[in-house]
Structure 1
Amino acid sequence: MSKAPNKISGSPTQGLFGATTAFFIGLASVALFGPTAKSLAQQLHLNAVSLGFLMGIPALSGALLRIPFGAWVESTGGKLPNLILLGGAFCGITGLALTISHPTFWTLALFGAIAGFGVATFSVSMGQVSYWFSKAKQGTANGIYGGVGNLSPGIASLWIPIALGLYGAQNTYWLWLVYLAVGIGLYAIFGKNSPYFQLIKQGVSAEDAKALARQAGQELFPSSTALQSLKTTARYWQTWVLVVIYHTTFGGFLALTAWFPNYWQTMFGLKLFPEAVGLTAIFSIGASLMRVVGGILSDRLGGVKTAFGSLAILFLGALLMIFGGRDFSVVFTGVCLIAVGMGVNNAATFKILPSVIPSAMGGASGWVGGLGALGGFLFPILQGFFIKNPQVADPGYNFSFLVYALAAVLSVLFLLLLTRKAKA
């Protein structure tokens, strides 16, 4: 038995690198239609709600798949589920590359949904990272993981318009396939499950695997199968509190990354490249970097305090967007505040999670990450109801940010419930 730990390969750093790589290449699908939203609305004669549906469809499939695949981490450790999801994303982008020259609304929606499989890598990789790190380092590790991974949509929003201008839509998606293939290869090589799952795969009993993994530094362990993990965590009311909070900030992050390119073009008459996608990248990349900061703050101040502060900042940013009209300085300030609030809270939520649901991280992250990410699909549709014509500077674009202000208030109320119940 003393030689068993020698069979453990990798380290927390390598586990973090592999999981972040999978999430980074998978999450790019969020930006699938954002940079082309205005031209698609014109070409396919879409109203604001239909356009919001199309922009959010990758987030929808990704959100729903996060739940079962996140729970599957409890029995596999994460690598196999991630490879399957990334393979699905590869198939979706292939379908778009083959059909984009003669698009229809439903072919775009179908292949966009399949490409959205990559978005589901979040909950899988989150569970994979969580099992590698101690409780004391969860905030920092998950902040780095989420922050770096969340850079992907912002970067994709920058290079997609460049590729479209140089090579056309079809060749842009073929380039995307090359990008995916390289990323999948890197994950296949460097992705590592935590020590416990490596030992289980080698035939070590669960009890011995836990003991040996503890010697290797692992602190968190699965307590059930995938289905049981979902059932167990669904019974915790804390799970649903965190779903609401994460729905506001991570779902909002996904939604606005897809929403902003069309917003900047329509409301301020900016060109897609470099102005509209550049401003979108500032939001997306800024929120991603603030997630790293949020992880560090959560370790120092606690997840709950960090979450309260970030939600207040989000609320203030949403108010500036509602009342800012077409005043660029006011609106840009609002966008920056929203990015800070969403980014910091995304890390704070997953700092809170292990402390309230420590025994089934895969199932909990599946519910929170999955249903939370559903906001990336729902928010653009809700915003669409405020807008009469998505191709003109409609005041509804401003008023549509009311959904984020109300969501921030609701999240604060649920967070208060969480803290009061904990003290009781």
Structure 2
Amino acid sequence: MKRLTEWDPSDKKFWEHKGKRIATRNLWISTIALHLAFCIWQMWSVMTINLPKVGFTYTTDQMFTLTAIPALVGAVLRMFYSIAITYLGGRTWTVISTIILIIPAIGIGIAIQNTNTPFITMAILSALCGVGGANFASSMANIGPYFPKEKQGTALGINGGIGNLGVSMVQLVAPIAIGIPLFGTLLGGPQLLVLESGNQNIWLQNGALIWVLPLILISIVAFFGMNNLPSPKVSLVEQAQVFKGKHMYLITILYIMSFGSFIGYSAAFPLLINKEFPEVNALQLAFLGPLLGASFRTVGGYLADKMGGAIVTFASVITMMIATAGVVYFVGESKSFVGFFIMFMILFLAGGIANGSIFRMIPIIFGPKETPAAIGFSAAIGAFGGFFIPKLFGWSFQYSGGPQPALYVFISYYFLCSIILWIYYARPNAEMKC
């Protein structure tokens, strides 16, 4: 598809006769590409569970680190990815950024078959997976301008929500794929999984290699099916104006609360179950949390369009505080997996709604020239939650023997976010009611 020569979704006649069809097509292609990017980004949340059982000698802290590194790299690159859209166009950058993800998928498929692979090699491959996390910023910055303002919350909710479902998808599909000889011996033989109940063969490489063909296919579809919008090239100086106001930093704090929690808990949840409740098969249940969080992101965008982004986000963060306190209770003396699991599901659900509602707030708070930079910066810093949450859990287990200190930190942060939301955005006389 060539670059569009005209684009005005606010013109109702243009939107109904031409714009809606083009916007919808670009939305769904972008959404699938982002979904696969999230699969690659969070691959290590699944892979780490079985590494010790097949002969890898990495420590618990090193395994938490492997789940945390992709978030760190994705966070650093997000700012650059959101800016790249304004210079290269959504179609061009979607194709390039999707093709890049084939490299870590193949690399992990090879390296994970050798238990003597050094930790530094795995850490580098983990970092390459982080590129998938950067795709989020460029995808969201690209999709918003396709839609009228009153529909952007829903569109961004769909793009981000189904994109985020990649986390749940990799945690659901990869464990199934590694349990069967999906490619026979063509792409490598099995590894011996050592369990108390008995040994069995698994194919860890399948958890990485199954994504190669879908990545190739969606790259081709994006090349032929997407468009580059005729948006003017906004200079870095113009975009940098967003950093002069306090709202850029306030929104960033809030986005760490929403998306940072989602991606951080998604990465740490399987290992957390494994540490606190070793009798439970973490890989059979862990995917449900990201599934809820990603699914309800779309709900958050829809509710924000109807009720206002700030009030929906405020209600969500209060719910997150209560749910986190519940997690503390159920990993304490009561030691109930059922209570622990229900509280975490509520935490994922509320965080997903906040993910969608915050993105509805951004276009209202910032102008069209500043919005890409605002999305890129907040998304970049927010993704650091995916690094710090697993690392905080690792630190918490190392120094206290449990996750409670980390959970108290999260509750305190959510309380800070609730104050910011109420004072600046949600109360009746708020400075920037949205």
The one-character-per-residue Cα deviations of 1:50-99 (angstroms, maximum 9, x if unpaired) are 32221011111111111011022223332222322222221122221222
Query: What is the distance in 2 between the residues matched to 1:341 and 1:106?
Result: 36
The one-character-per-residue Cα deviations of 1:161-188 (angstroms, maximum 9, x if unpaired) are 1111213122432222123222322322
State the TM-score, normalizing by the size of structure 2. Answer: 0.83
| CA-atom RMSD in angstroms | 2.3
What's 1:99 paired with?
A: 111
CA contact (8 A) 1:74 1:229 kept: no
1:80-119 equivalences in 2 (<5 Å):
80-102=92-114, 103-119=117-133
1:57-136 equivalences in 2 (<5 Å):
57-102=69-114, 103-136=117-150
Q: 1:131 to 1:88 in 2, by over 3 A?
A: same
CA contact (8 A) 1:90 1:115 kept: no
Structure 1 range deviating more: 34-43 or 344-353: 34-43
Structure 1 range deviating more: 109-118 or 149-158: 109-118
Among 168, 175, 181, the residue aligned to 2:210: 175
Q: 1:155 to 1:299 in 2, by over 3 A?
A: same
Among 305, 313, 333, the residue aligned to 1:307: 313
Query: What is the distance in 2 between the residues matched to 1:18 and 1:235?
Result: 35
> What is the deviation of 1:41?
5.2
Q: Does 1:362 align with 2:372?
A: yes
CA contact (8 A) 1:143 1:292 kept: yes
Query: What is the distance in 2 between the residues matched to 1:130 and 1:270?
Result: 45
Q: Does 1:400 align with 2:402?
A: no
What's 2:302 paired with?
A: 296
Higher relative contact order (CA 8 A, sep 6+): 1
Flag structure 2 segments of 5+ consecutive residues without an equivalent. 8-17, 182-202
What's 1:217 paired with?
A: none
CA contact (8 A) 2:153 2:305 kept: yes
Query: What is the distance in 2 between the residues matched to 1:240 and 1:364?
Result: 9
CA contact (8 A) 1:230 1:367 kept: no
CA contact (8 A) 1:59 1:119 kept: yes
Structure with more of its chain in helix, by fraction: 1
What's 2:354 paired with?
A: 345
Q: Does 1:154 align with 2:196?
A: no
CA contact (8 A) 2:153 2:302 kept: yes
What's 2:342 paired with?
A: 333
CA contact (8 A) 1:59 1:376 kept: yes
1:42-57 equivalences in 2 (<5 Å):
43-57=55-69
Q: 1:261 to 1:230 in 2, by over 3 A?
A: same
Query: What is the distance in 2 between the residues matched to 1:57 and 1:24?
Result: 19
Q: SS at the partner of 2:432?
A: helix
CA contact (8 A) 2:153 2:360 kept: yes
Query: What is the distance in 2 between the residues matched to 1:15 and 1:313?
Result: 34
State the TM-score, normalizing by the size of structure 1. Answer: 0.85
**Matching residue's letter, 1:127:** A
What's 2:153 paired with?
A: 139
Structure 1 range deviating more: 176-185 or 148-157: 176-185
Query: What is the distance in 1 between the residues matched to 2:31 and 2:294?
Result: 13
Q: 1:174 to 1:329 in 2, by over 3 A?
A: closer
Query: What is the distance in 2 between the residues matched to 1:372 and 1:28?
Result: 18
> What is the deviation of 1:364?
1.2
CA contact (8 A) 1:283 1:335 kept: yes
Q: SS at the partner of 1:366?
A: helix
Q: 1:170 to 1:38 in 2, by over 3 A?
A: closer
Query: What is the distance in 2 between the residues matched to 1:244 and 1:330?
Result: 29
Among 265, 268, 276, the residue aligned to 1:256: 265
CA contact (8 A) 1:130 1:138 kept: yes
Query: What is the distance in 2 between the residues matched to 1:229 and 1:369?
Result: 19
Q: SS at the partner of 1:165?
A: coil
